[in-house]
Structure 1
Amino acid sequence: MDPEERGAAPKFIRAPDRNAVSSLFVDSKGVIWVGTDGAGLLAFDTDGKSASTFLHDPGDSGSIGSDRVSAIIEDSLGFLWIGFADGGIDLFEEGRFRHATREANDRKPLPPVTTLAEDVRGQIWAGFHGNGVGILDPSSMETLVSSLVDGKEVRFLMRDRRGLMWAGLSRGGLLTGDLRSSAFSRYSVSREGRAMDSIGAIVELPSGTLVTASRTAGILGFDPLTDSFSAMRIRAGEIDPGDLRDVLAAEDGTLWIGTSGLGLLRRAPDGSVSRFMHDEGRPESLASSSILSLLEAGWGRLWVGTDGGGLDLFDPSKGAALHWGKEGDQPALISASIITCLIRDSKNRVWAGSADAGLFVLDPGGTHFRPVGRDERRAEGIGDLRIESIFEDSRGTLWVGTGGGGLVALDPGTGAVVRRGSAMGLVANAVYGITEDNAGILWILSSAGLFSLDPGRNDVFLFGREDGLNGGGLDAGAILFSRGGELWVGSGEGLTRFDPARIARYAPAPDVVLSGIEPMGEGSSMLRSADGTGIILDHDNMGLSFSIAAVDFAAPGRNRYAMRLEGRQSAWTQMGNVNMGYIAPLAPGRYMLRVRAANGNGIWNDYGASLSIIVRSPWWGTWWFRTLVLGTAAVGLAAAIAARVGSLRRRNALLVKFARHIEEAREEERTIAARDVHDEIGQHLMVLNFNAYWLASHAETTPAERLPVVKEMQKAILDAMASVKAVATRLRPQALDTLDFPDALRWYVRSFGRMSGITTKLDIGEGWKELPREAAKAFFRLLQEMLSNVARHSGAKHVFVRFAADGDDFMLETRDDGKGIEPGKVDAQDSFGIMGMREGCVSLGGSLAISGAPGQGCAVVARLPRKGGIADPEQGG
């Protein structure tokens, strides 16, 4: 197309073959380069008439690497670079093609190329299909394949005006930054071409040589001249690399190698190797052939931590071990059988971590290891019995990595424990290795990645494969800060080396967006505010769902999220790597949903984002309805209080009246008793006094003359005794103590008739013999009150008394022909006599009935149950 002409004009007389055109590029000389998917590379001059075709020739190493061209660029020096859809990158130079490879020791082919770009250093960046990014050094034609975006297709690469590289991904958005930090070097293949997977240990010999144990490549030594690792022969063919567990570099240059089931190996500086194993026939041999940890003990001896056999103090010169675990009937000198790590601190204390019993320490001159921080349930405990790593920093603090309780800081002198967990950014539960650099920064291998921790400032920064580390897990705990000031980190996919002083431990906090806010439940509704900062829900809402977006794409899989619903929660809820949340149904009120996020390096945006939530009240929860209800309740309460006050006043009046009634009854009893004592007993005593005076003044009389006087005195004494008995009977009737029930009733009714002048009639039916004593006493008291009321109030001339056993009840009835009783008087609160009779009946399970009308007499009927209602205390019932 000619932009200066209207419409389209054909410029190419010779079109490419039918194969699809995959890329186009015009170089600085005006040559048009056309890449095809199967027809090779074509070059057209400016007039489009002459063309050159470049095809792959298997017999010509200088031909183009493939006929499937996917990307073409020209670098700043004018050289052409071509990427291929089936893998590989070529440099076109002077009519020939040079083929790029991976790094020196990596023989795998390059992945399919999707895009190419040049950075400010002249390096060629390649985007790979599903395999991340590659960085090619033109001087060596070697390509470092970065794991930054593994598993994602890079669609395009470009460099901005600041020199930063941008990568557009098919999934995962944009990445920007210097993706190949010059501070990171990765090693994944040995010089022999073996993959350096599962690095289990890294040590440095006194000579400065670095030695590592790979469970796929064996024992490897680092050659700084070739910047590569080479195999160190350790009885080739006899030791499976998968059995390597720990390596110790002794001060004399000896390598001690612990294995799983194959014992302890010693590799002398001259390369000779010897092995020590558990021997059932030799009690002094190692307690187990599975060695997990090693530590020099001085005098040529070693502390050997075993898997299942506890801890041994081993003397290689004698081939004998002192077993510190349980030995026969002897008590164990360390109460653990799986010793995972050993260190010696600056105070010459030996610390041992176990997988089954926690942390132990042996003080200088001590005879046994004592446990430290064993109470994992309390805050002052370490928090876990599985110890993965121990390290003493330059400040004398002991750092303990656990298998499930995270990182713990321990003061060896006081035993004080401080847990360094998620509250300060260390979100990992398992800590496998710890070391310290020259700046006092701790580097921590964990289940979440590699953390750097500044203990003084509590700054935490998280590194992962996206930051330049090799991939794979870090659970082997292989980490070393070398004497040269470099940090070596072993992982499941090799080793990474970097200078911690050159690593940036800062990243901007990500922007946080609250999105995907939807009500839960079918048919639920939600209103949004105009500015999008708030929502309104109905009172019968089913809750809502939401999403949190952290605008940071460097390591989206490591981003972390947290939420807090103010109005219901006071603390933050950690959501881990899950960016979707749900809120349960909300009661009417006002809430504020706050969310925050951290990027893959653990840097939190504490401000985050927020959403105002208003839940509307139902009509019965509105302010006007509540005001109406409160007003009605206030009026009702006032009325209730007034009624209560009136009731209390009436009750007080009744209590006063009842007290007066009781006092009048007592006064009446006192008056009757005084009258009886004065009128009856007093007269008899006066007669006795006169007769006694006569006897005293007529001492000369004959016995015959004194005899009538003495007889009169005897009669007076008998009359006085009868009067005393009558008075006592009125105060507490004794008739039931000496008479049976019918005789007691007859005696009292006759006495009442004689004293009151009212004609009485008594009818006693069958069944009285079944009457319990307690019921008999109750009926007698009731009869006294009934007849007393007849005498006081009825004005009757006749009264009829009847007792009978009527069905399931005993019955006592009185009927008179007096003036009767007013209907309201029966239940009046000031009818204290009736109240007393009714309460007496009810207390024994019975009842009291009163009937009558004015001018027609009155009937009172008391009933007590015959069975089950009355217990006879004298019979223990």
Structure 2
Amino acid sequence: MLAFAFVCLQADASAQYRFDSWTTDTGLPQNSINSILQTRDGFLWITTFGGLVRYDGLRFAVFNTGKDREGNLWVFTENQGITRYRDGVFTTYTTVDDRPANHIRYLYDDGHGNALIRTDKGIVQWKDGAFIPYTPPHAPTPEEVVAGEVYRTAAGAVWYKDRSGFHRFEKGRVTANIATDLDFRRFFEDRTGSLWLGIRQNVLIKFEGGKLTTYSEKDGYPPARFHVAFEDSQGNLWLGTRGGGLVRYAEGEFIRYTTVDGLPSNEINCIYQDREGTLWIGTTGGLSRLSKRIITTYSMPDGLEANNSYPVYQDRQGTIWIGSWRGLTRYSNGSFTACSAAYGVADSLVCSLLEDREGNLWIGIWGGGVFRVKDGKATRYSSKEQPVTTVRAIIQDHAGNIWFGGAGGLVRYKDAAWTTFTSADGLPGQEVFVIYEDRQSNLWIGTDVGLTEYKDGLFTAYTERDGLSANFVRAIYEDGDGVLWIGTYDQGLNRFAQGRFTRYTTNEGLFDNGAFQIIEDGKENFWISCNLGIYRVRKKELNDLAEGEIAKIVSIPYGRRDGMLNSECNGGGQPAGIKANDGRLWFPTQQGVAVFAPDDIPINPQPPPVVIESLISDNQRIALHEPIEIRPGQNYFEINYSGLSFISPELVKFKYKLEGLDADWIDAETRRTAYYSHLPPGKYRFIVIAANRDGVWNEQGAALQIFVLAPFYKTWWFLAIVIFGVAASGSSLYRRRISLLKRTAQAREAFSRQLIQSQENERRRIAAEIHDGLGQNLILIRNWALLGLNAAAEEKSATINLSEISETASQAINEVREIAHNLGPYQLERLGLTNTLLEMVAKVSAAHPIEFAADVAELDGLLSRESEISLYRIVQEAVNNIVKHSGALRASLEIKLDSETLIVKVNDNGKGFAGPSDSNGEGAKGFGLRGMTERVRMLGGTLGITSTPGEGTTIEVKLPIESNWNGNRDQAADRR
């Protein structure tokens, strides 16, 4: 048999509890839970006949082999001695280790960090690393103590039983004696000093103030033998019995829990409470966890007409009305009363409720219009009076008008007259789900096609195009700051402030994307209903996210575990939840109404301990002894971790990062595994942190050092060998390579010079042939045409034809001269470089709507003939680009001499362009810019292009004068 003996005295009692149970069907190796203990690292340890079990809240780990104040976990087995678990190592002790017997009955702590072990043949004490015989103070012999029991109280006192009775030993002396011959099998001292005793006769005896009090079945104690006891922090006494289930004794009353309440068995072996206050019960049929029911759910057994509830409403007298599939129920003075038949709504789905200022109750029905109950008499208004057949929403505005919304649009009831608003009046859509009046007396209508504001007789629609997360609006609420909050069916929550929408979904931290009702409590928390339950979120966090101060919010969900019979809440009716006069919140669900007081909802302040459970690389588990080494070839590994909170463990959230790889935290949500693959060799540190369901983070978390070893070809010694080998031959290779590069560069430069020179020579040849051949022939044609004109002055038609020939020939002559000019810039010889450039700018400015300014230094005689032509071509291409592509209105050419450098800057205010450029013009596009780049490079200069879309372009060329001069140093020097 396996068992622990030490019980932690912490608890939080409640009148209502939920039992969650685990058996072999859900992971236990065997159903008899003999003892439970939580170790310092946060794990829950459970002993069964099938082995030792470790539990992290979601997973059971079975070890087939109590923890004391020194961190030792003591486990005893059936006839196989006792085992100690410390620092991940199990050590087993038997009679060979000076223990008197292998059959262990109980384990205790003597209050000083020493384990007391009771066997069939006596008591031994684990002290200073060894077992020594133990005799309680004033006991005649150890053998006499064996016949009874030894028990240590929470205060550190020791009770023991011998043949003369019971004795209490504390602080070196006996403080109490009970002389009795009754056959007591169990005893327990509560915090008041009272001693509770269990005997074979299935009665419970209390020793207090020197007298014995007996409790039996007539007092509420079950007819079963008391086996184990536990006292919680509020003074509730929990008693585990043999066959009678679990008993709670509080304020003089016994309350019994059995298999009917959810226990897997009525045979109780042990009771334990973890550090968060959760109570654990070990039975012969499995493990149970008791959770406080913080939500009360009222359903048909409590008096509701039907479980499937929709609107909930409280009138001015404090009566709460609940609509359902089968009619209407009233809740008053703690009891429910069916009202469906009296008001004519039996077997009807009640969708909406309202009490007007005159005290009349309005009831909206699915497909049945609306009823008004006045003085106990119901009057129905159907489609004859108003067109809304299914009335989902009813409100009364500040002026006393009553508004109805549903299938068919929006209707106003004023002075006994009905007015219908539809799309023809500007109302988008015909399906209204909610109506809300803000503090400025404006109406807000939620429909299936968006949110609509009704102000000063006009409708204004807001949809997804305006920033709303979805058009299917289910809830509207205005907070004290005038901010409007809009809930949707399945696309989250919206904040509307200063004309701007902020949306919140599960991506931003919402528990669910449904928002059927929004209720604010007195502490600026929003309580929101959805298909998965009810969740709480702080309004401040929502506002902070909207202002960009945080990236994610925390929402806390509540559901079946907290007391709801069904987590699915209902919306689509108004009101879909209320805050009652007493501060309690009421939400309709698929199985009754969920009711709770927000102030009674506990917040778990305990950050969850974080543990790294395992590291698996290529499907092989690696021992967690730091540092972890990942060998070459182990390309993939995963790290499993846990956050040890047993209050909604499935909602524990994690963040992790691998220092040396991850720059930021990775938000793993509830995932408990981190995955990595193909990490570069190096040193890493894995850190994981966790938060409990209430968002309390353990910022320290857990960490693990990991070394990824390099393959041999990446080790320092291999690299050293390679470097040495390369260095040995590198010098020769380097010289050969440099020589080859130089020759290649020289050959490329020579080729470029020859190519440019060939181009210029070919241009001169073509220009000469055009000028001397074609140009002269065109002149002859024109002259012959002029002679014909003079001779045929009397013949009108011939005159016209000859005139056309002359005009066309003149145009052709001008074009030929222009082509010849461009192919061979003869102006350089006639006018010089400076005036040629100025003339180029002047022609562009005269022929195009571009205001072109020029500031050109005196360049004549400064450069060689070839350099002058290249500079001319560079400027010519830059000017042509401005004319053809820039769309500029202003441009400028600036050429100046600076020390040893000739600087050319061409600028325009045109449309510019986006794209890379650099000092060598490598980002230039098109043949023109590439030609400029090549000419600049041949002249030994640099080309820079700066352009911004919409702001123009600047081309700057810098040429070294020394390498391009004409050989006259004195002339060059005079112009700088």
Q: TM-score, normalised by structure 2?
A: 0.49
Aligned to 2:708: 615
Partner SS state of residue 253, structure 1: coil
> What's the counterpart of residue 561 of structure 1?
654
Structure 1 position 646, deviation (Å): 2.0
Q: Counterpart of 1:335 in 2: which secondary structure?
A: coil
Rounded Cα–Cα distance in structure 1 between residues aligned with 2:338 and 2:182: 61
Q: What is aligned with 2:318?
A: 208
1:436 corresponds in structure 2 to 520
In structure 2, runs of 5+ residues without a counterpart are 1-119, 123-139, 149-159, 167-178, 207-211, 543-552, 765-976
Show the 5 A alignment for 1:612-651. 612-623=705-716, 625=718, 628=722, 636=733, 639-649=736-746
Do the aligned partners of residues 336 and 657 (structure 1) sit closer, same or farther apart at CA in structure 2, a change above 3 Å counting? closer
Does 2:621 match 1:515? Answer: no
For 2:144 and 2:664, the matched residues in 1 are separated by 67
Q: Which residue of the partner structure matches residue 97 of structure 1?
A: 217
1:265 aligns with 2:371: yes
Equivalent residue runs for 1:589-604 within 5 Å: 589-604=682-697
Q: Distance in 1 between matches of 2:487 and 2:513?
A: 9
Q: Secondary structure at the match of 1:431?
A: coil
Does residue 235 of the first structure (1) align with residue 341 of the second (2)?
yes
Indicate conservation of the 8 Å contact 1:543/1:584, yes or no: yes
Q: Whole-Å Cα distance in 1 between the matches of residues 198 and 309 of structure 2? A: 37
Rate the CA distance shift 1:442–1:569 in 2: closer, same or farther, 3 A. Answer: same
Contact 1:79/1:93, CA 8 A, preserved across alignment: no
* Separation in 1, partners of 2:748, 2:316: 103
Q: Contact 1:359–1:374 (CA<8 Å) still a contact in 2?
A: no
Alignment of 1:333-412 (within 5 A): 333-354=426-447, 356-363=448-455, 365-368=456-459, 370-375=460-465, 381-411=467-497
Distance 1:382 1:146 in 2: 50
Aligned CA distance change for structure 1 residues 8 and 651 (closer, same or farther; 3 Å): same
Judged with a 3 Å threshold, the aligned counterparts in structure 2 of structure 1 residues 337 and 134 are, in CA distance, closer, same or farther, namely: farther
Q: Distance in 2 between matches of 1:144 and 1:536?
A: 52
Which residue in 2 is equivalent to 1:247?
353
Deviation of 1:561 (Å): 2.8
1:325 maps onto 2:434 in alignment: no
AA at the equivalent of 1:512: V
1:483 matched to 2:588? The reply is no
1:47 CA drift (Å): 4.0
Q: Give aligned pairs, total.
A: 580
The change in CA–CA distance for 1:198 and 1:138 in structure 2 (over 3 A counts) is farther
CA distances 1:489-512 after superposition (whole Å, capped 9, x unpaired): 444454454444455546232222
- Listed one character per residue, the Cα deviations across residues 248-301 of structure 1 (whole Å, up to 9, x for unaligned) are 33333333333333443333353x2233344xxx4x533333x33222246664
Give the whole-Å Cα distance in 2 for the aligned partners of 1:427 and 1:141: 39
Match of 2:956 in 1: none
Distance change >3 Å, CA 240–CA 575, structure 1 → 2: farther
**After superposition, what is the alpha-carbon deviation per residue over 1:712-756, rounded to whole angstroms, capped at 9, x for unaligned?**
xxxxxxxxxxxxxxxxxxxxxxxxxxxxxxxxxxxxxxxxxxxxx
Closer, same or farther in 2 for the Cα pair 1:587/1:258, shift >3 Å?
Answer: farther
Q: Which letter does structure 2 place at the counterpart of 1:372?
A: Y
Structure 1 position 274 matched with structure 2 position 379 = yes
Asked if 2 retains the 8 angstrom alpha-carbon contact of 1:262 and 1:277, the reply is yes
- Given that 1:451 and 1:460 are in contact with CA atoms closer than 8 Å, whether structure 2 keeps it comes out as no
Moved more, 149-158 or 493-502: 149-158
Q: Determine whether 1:473 maps to 2:567.
A: yes
Residue of structure 2 aligned with 1:287, choices 360, 384, 388: 388
How far apart, in 2, do the equivalents of 1:145 and 1:393 lie?
46
Alpha carbons of structure 1 residues 574 and 148: separation in structure 2 relative to 1, 3 Å: farther
Contact 2:361 2:374 in 1 (8 A): yes
Assess if the C-alpha contact under 8 Å between 1:372 and 1:415 holds in 2.
no
Secondary structure (helix, strand or coil) at the match of 1:257 reads: strand
Can you list the C-alpha shifts for 1:284-335, whole angstroms capped at 9, x where unaligned? 533333x3322224666433332xx3522143875x7544334xxxx36322
Amino acid in structure 1 at the alignment position of 2:403 = W
Give the aligned partner of residue 921 of structure 2: none
Aligned to 2:271: 157
- Please state how far the C-alpha of 1:394 moved relative to its aligned partner: 1.2
| Cα distance in 2, alignment partners of residues 127 and 260 from structure 1 | 52
Distance 1:95 1:574, change over 3 A: closer
SS at match of 1:609: strand
Between 1:657-666 and 1:550-559, the stretch displaced more is 657-666
CA deviation map 1:445-478 (0-9, x unaligned): 3456544444346685625258855342253254
Note if contact 1:563-1:574 (Cα within 8 Å) is conserved in structure 2. Answer: yes
For 1:96 and 1:464, the matched residues in 2 are separated by 39
Q: Distance in 1 between matches of 2:756 and 2:522?
A: 96
The residue type equivalent to 2:338 in the other structure is M
Alignment correspondent of 1:464: 558
Residues 474 and 491 in structure 1, CA contact (< 8 A), matched pair in contact too: yes
Task: Tell me by how many angstroms 1:435 deviates.
Answer: 1.4
Is 1:220 aligned with 2:329? yes
The equivalent of 1:580 in structure 2 is 673
Read off the aligned partner of 2:271 and give its amino acid letter.
L
Q: Aligned partners of 1:82, 1:557: CA distance in 2, in Å?
A: 42
Tell whether the 8 Å contact from 2:615 to 2:621 is kept in structure 1 after alignment: no
CA contact (8 A) 2:186 2:228 kept: yes
Question: Could you say what secondary structure the match of 2:688 adopts?
Answer: strand
Deviations 1:753-811 (A, max 9, x none): xxxxxxxxxxxxxxxxxxxxxxxxxxxxxxxxxxxxxxxxxxxxxxxxxxxxxxxxxxx
Shift of residue 401 of structure 1? 2.1
* TM-aligned CA deviation for residue 410 of structure 1: 1.4
* C-alpha distance 203-115 of structure 1, shift in aligned 2 (>3 A): farther
C-alpha separation in 2, matches of 1:665 and 1:233: 108
Q: Distance in 1 between matches of 2:305 and 2:361?
A: 22
Mapped partners of 1:428, 1:511: distance in 2: 27
* Greater displacement, 593-602 / 163-172: 163-172
Contact 1:209 1:222 in 2 (8 A): yes
Structure 1 residue 416: Cα displacement: 1.7
Aligned partner of residue 615 in structure 2, secondary structure: strand
Secondary structure in structure 1 of the residue aligned to 2:464: coil
Q: 1:314 to 1:608 in 2, by over 3 A?
A: same
**Contact 2:295–2:596 (8 Å) recurs in 1:** yes
Residue equivalent to 2:280 = 167
Specify which structure has the bigger relative contact order, considering alpha-carbon pairs within 8 angstroms and separated by 6 or more residues.
2
Provide the rounded CA distance (Å) in 1 between the counterparts of 2:358 and 2:387: 23
What is the one-letter code of the residue matched to 1:366?
G
Distance in structure 2 (CA, Å) of the matches to 1:7 and 1:99: 37
Q: CA separation of 1:172/1:540 partners in 2, compared to 1, >3 Å: closer, same or farther? A: farther
What is the SS of the residue equivalent to 1:404?
Answer: coil
Q: 1:454 to 1:74 in 2, by over 3 A?
A: same
TM-score under structure 1 length normalisation: 0.53
Query: In the alignment, residue 418 of structure 1 is paired with which amino acid?
Result: T
The residue that corresponds to 1:418 in the other structure is 502
Give a deviation string over 1:104-160, Cα, whole Å, max 9, x none: xxxxx9xxx99765546564557899xx99867666767799999999998643589
Any conservation in 1 of the 2:403–2:413 contact (CA below 8 Å)? no
Give the fraction of aligned pairs with identical amino acids, expressed as a percent: 20
Q: Highest Rg: 1 or 2?
A: 1
Partner of 1:696: none
Alignment check: 8 A CA contact 2:362 2:370 kept: yes
Paired residue for 2:641?
548
Letter paired with 1:295: I
Whether the aligned pair in 2 keeps the contact of 1:390 and 1:401 (CA below 8 Å) is yes
Alignment RMSD: 5.8
